[in-house]
Structures are given as C-alpha cells and as structure tokens.
Structure 1
C-alpha cells in the first residue's frame, strides 16, 4: 500500500470520527468542565480557576458550590468532573467508581484550617482545644465558663450548613455523634456566618480560613472587619500567649494549629483533560503561589530560582 493510500485512509477515518456526533474531548488547554467544591473553598477555587483560564482562554470551568457531601455526590454521579474536598473517598464511594470501571484520582493540594471567629466586642479570643471539645459535648455552654472568660451569655455555634465540611470536620475531630441540645445556628454560606457573627456578640463562627486570609484582596479586608480570630492552644493548661495558635500560614505549615485539615482535588477524569491540567498547574506550576497568597500552606512549594550576579 502506498503512502498516498495510507494518508487517504487516515484522512477518511479522521473525518468519520469528527462526524460521529460526539463532542471533542477536552484537553489541558481547551474545553469546558464542571467542578464541584465545598462552599468553604469558594475563594480558593475561584482564584485557581480564574488564573488558569487567564493562561488558557479556551479553558472554561463551571463551578458548583455545595456542602462537601453533595459536592462528592455530584462527582460520583458524573455531574461534575472533579471535586475540591477536605477528605478522600470512602470505600463505598470508591466502589461507585469501580463499578463503572473508573480509576479515580486524588491529589492533596494544600493544608487549610477551620477558623473560629468572634465579634469584635468579645474579648474572649483565646481557647484551649479541650475547652472547645467541652463546648461540643455540652459541658461548657456559657462564655463565662471559659478560662479567663469575661463575656456573658450562652455560646451560639454558627456554621454555614448542616452538611458542611466545617461542621463535619469538628464533629469528627471530637467524635461527636449527637448535636441535640447544642446551641447551633446554620447560615447559608461562609459569608453569612461572618455577617451573623459581626451582628451577634455571643456567636462563635466556624469558616474556611481562606475567606479571611488573603491580605491582598479587598474583599478579605471587608469580611475581616469587626471580627476577631480565636487563638487555640493544644495544651490543656497553657501558661503564655505563645501557647495559642491561629489558622494562618506559618501555624498551618508547621502543624501547630489544632484545627488544620487537608484540601484535596478528587477527579474521575478518564483521559488527559482539563481537570488534570488544573491539578498540574496547582502542584507543579504557579498555582501554589495562589495558595501562598491565600494564606494556606501548599503541598508542593513553588520553586523559585534566583540568579546572583557580581
């Protein structure tokens, strides 16, 4: 068979393939995919996807923000290509992908923290991890019961959603099975948690720290106004201010902040596509700089080469 005939057959096969009615597959530089993400990661995911689309104008992301379990379910049902979460898939969730002969992928992108926020008028901004556990077991119900507490009134715990990663993380950490009897209020988003705490001096809010940790973002300054971030000590009986840590970059990276958690990108992508391109951008390219900028701790630091000249 001559080279001309071979080329002709390949051309015909390509034409037939393009006319089979199926849309072309996306690739790392082009296409449109749906991403599901826990709402507490909205600032992080927004900046990562926006930066990636700025490099590749033909890459488009439709992001759906849901409580973590719903975000994972969207990915399992093939309603989303990937999900940003605080945990890996369970055995039952992996089985869903296995039944469809899909090899899922998981990549740790960063270390995040659940930030505890209080009203600016509340000066009880230090708490031990043991005290926080007692709040969730119902042993501590009043601000005045905290060590050195000078705020009166009951403690109102404020979360963004009944199924949020923030709430699930805290309940899992303290092995809490039943929240009946706890004074818990749920808002619709992390931003509404911030607004509620700003208006209620007795509130103790729980949010993803990336909402208030980007020092260069005007929105961060707006959201942080009239709030205090609680310092938490892993010690039962701390003796000095240095025993308390906040959920910001250094204390997250050095694993000093007790309520730190991972950020994962879970994917069901079956070809070298846009989801893989985004993950590679985060862990192998300048995406880690965005994580730094947001005050989180990237899993893979961005390597900077500096040339010194005499």
Structure 2
C-alpha cells in the first residue's frame, strides 16, 4: 500500500514538471527573472541608473548589462543574446526582417531625448561653434582652432569613443558625410576615455553622450566635468550673440533648441509579457521617467505628480 501511494505521488510530480512550461525554464515576468540588456556605451550612466532603480523595487529581478557600440548592441538583440537594446534609432527594414522570420513582432519605444555634447579642454577659450563651422570641420575646410578664432594654434583633433560609435555615426549622418578620410580623428574605448583625453589635450574636440556629465547629483559628474568646457552650438549661420548658442542640457533638449539632439529608443524582441516589458512600462507609465529627468535628459513621457493642498 505504501509503495502504491509513493508511486502515485511520484507520477504526479513527474507530470507537473513535464507540464510546467513544456519542460522549459519558467518565463520571466515584470517582477521576477533575469534578462540581458545591450546598450550603446554612450548611454551607460542612464541605463545603469534605470536598471539599478528597477532592481531596487523588485529584489527578484536581475539585469545583465552589456555595453557595446550601437550596431553590436542591436545585433545582440537580433541574435537573442539580449532581450532589449538601448539605441539612438529604430530597426532598419533588413533588421526587422530578421525578427519577422522568427515571427517576433518586436518593438521600438522612444523614452528620451539625448544630446551629443562637444567638449574642449579648459585651456581652450573657444567654447562656441555654429553648425556650419562644425560641418566645415568634418569636410576638412576648417583644420585648426585658429580658423575658429580660438586661442589654440594646433590642428583640431576630433575624439570619439569608438570607430563604430553612435556619436560618430550621428554626427556624420547629420552632415551627410560618407567618409572620414583625411580627417584628424582619434578614437578611444569609451566615453570616459574621451573625457580623459580631452582633459589632457588642449587641441582636442571630444564628442560624448551628455548623460555622462549632466547628472548634477552624481559625484562622477563633478569628477568628469572638471577642467572641461561644454561648447555651445548654434544652428544659425550668423549668430548675433551668445543667446543664439545652446548646450545639450535638459531644457534646451526638451525645447528642441540644441541642434545635436537625438532620440533614445528601447528595442525589444520580447514575445511574452515579461521583464523587458515591465522595464519599458516603468519608464513610460511609471516613475521611471523621473530617473531620466534626474540624469539630465528629456523624458518622452513626463511623470505627473498630484499634490493635494489642504488648509
């Protein structure tokens, strides 16, 4: 009799295990599980703070963050090496086709407006530039700081975080430039290394994601911003005063005054209501937009707080 009862209990357990998600690992959900997120390295401060806050709310959640140049981050998402990707663009038709072949709808949600910041050494007094002048730098018509009426006589060294940097791609596409042959370009391995290089080289003009230096509450921002100037950029060909120049900080991003602004998207390949969707909803429907605001970017969906005043 005891053997019969034990045998029946064993059959029930086996049946439950076999029927639990068809033998696959349990699916994650918005409050439990672990996924990998790929992101362009220029968004590292933003993504790190967002995911850390979400993990603080849900202790059973774990995000593995991988920071790569934008195209590599997108490829990781397409190959299913990452569930989400933080990027500056949506998928191309060919990239979307890769998901369509697997019958995955995917998605792209704009969460913020970011800006590419132009930084120079503090010893360089030239802190203003027009879009026409910047175009001339990238077409080789302007080669030295003296042509920009700066106090440096050296050639302008353009500094980016990677050969495949989203920062570099964005600037080139803005000006319709196909080749960088003949330009004085130096690449590092991260936005932080761009900052360090500019700090040591007065002739350098660095390009970084502004969230590296825009969070006034972060000690790292103070550390990284030391001995640097953030250039003001004007879309007017003939500015009449300093008021015509704008920096890539929150209000000028939100009011669309800063010329080198760009969107921030979350690309997803999630096929069920899971952890990835939970994070996206947190950013566009919940208090997550406050983190975007805190970092110094402009959230696509503002968080509305209701305040009751009582006598």
Q: What's the TM-score once normalised by structure 2's chain length? A: 0.94
Query: What residue in structure 1 maps to residue 39 of structure 2?
Result: 37
Cα distance, 1:238 vs structure 2: 0.2
Could you tell me which residue of structure 1 aligns to residue 7 of structure 2? Answer: none
Aligned partners of 2:15, 2:263: CA distance in 1, in Å?
46
- SS of 1:84's equivalent in the other structure is strand
What is the deviation of 1:22?
Answer: 1.4
Structure 1: gaps spanning 5 or more residues: 1-9
1:1-310, aligned counterparts within 5 Å? 14-18=16-20, 20-146=22-148, 148-310=149-311
Whole-Å separation in 1 of the counterparts to 2:94 and 2:177: 22
Matches of 2:294 and 2:193, distance apart in 1 = 23
Write the distance in 2 (CA, Å) between the matches of 1:290 and 1:37. Answer: 17
> Structure 2: how far apart are the matches of 1:128 and 1:221?
27
Deviations 1:254-292 (A, max 9, x none): 000000000000000000000000000011111111111
Per the TM alignment, residue 21 of structure 1 is displaced from its structure 2 partner at its CA by 3.6
Kindly state the Cα deviation for residue 17 of structure 1 after the two structures are TM-superposed: 1.8
Structure 1 range deviating more: 287-296 or 14-23: 14-23
Structure 2 Cα separation of the partners of residues 204 and 145 of structure 1: 14
Deviation at 1:152?
1.4
Cα deviation code 1:153-184 (max 9, x no counterpart)? 10000000000110000000000001000000
**Aligned residues of 2:161 and 2:193 also touching (Cα < 8 A):** yes
| Cα distance between partner residues in 1 of 2:223 and 2:150 | 28
Q: How far apart are residue 14 of structure 1 and its match?
A: 4.5
Determine the C-alpha separation between the residues in 1 that align with 2:185 and 2:286.
Answer: 41
Show CA shifts across 1:102-140 (max 9, x none): 101110000000000000100100000110000000000
Name 1:3's counterpart in structure 2. Answer: none
Q: Residue 308 of structure 1: CA displacement?
A: 1.1
Paired residues in the alignment total 301
Instruction: State TM-score, norm by structure 1.
Output: 0.95
**TM-fit CA distance, 1:16:** 2.9
CA contact (8 A) 2:110 2:265 kept: yes
Alpha-carbon distance between aligned partners in 1 of 2:244 and 2:31, rounded to the nearest angstrom = 47
Q: Distance in 1 between matches of 2:19 and 2:26?
A: 10
SS of 1:266's partner is strand
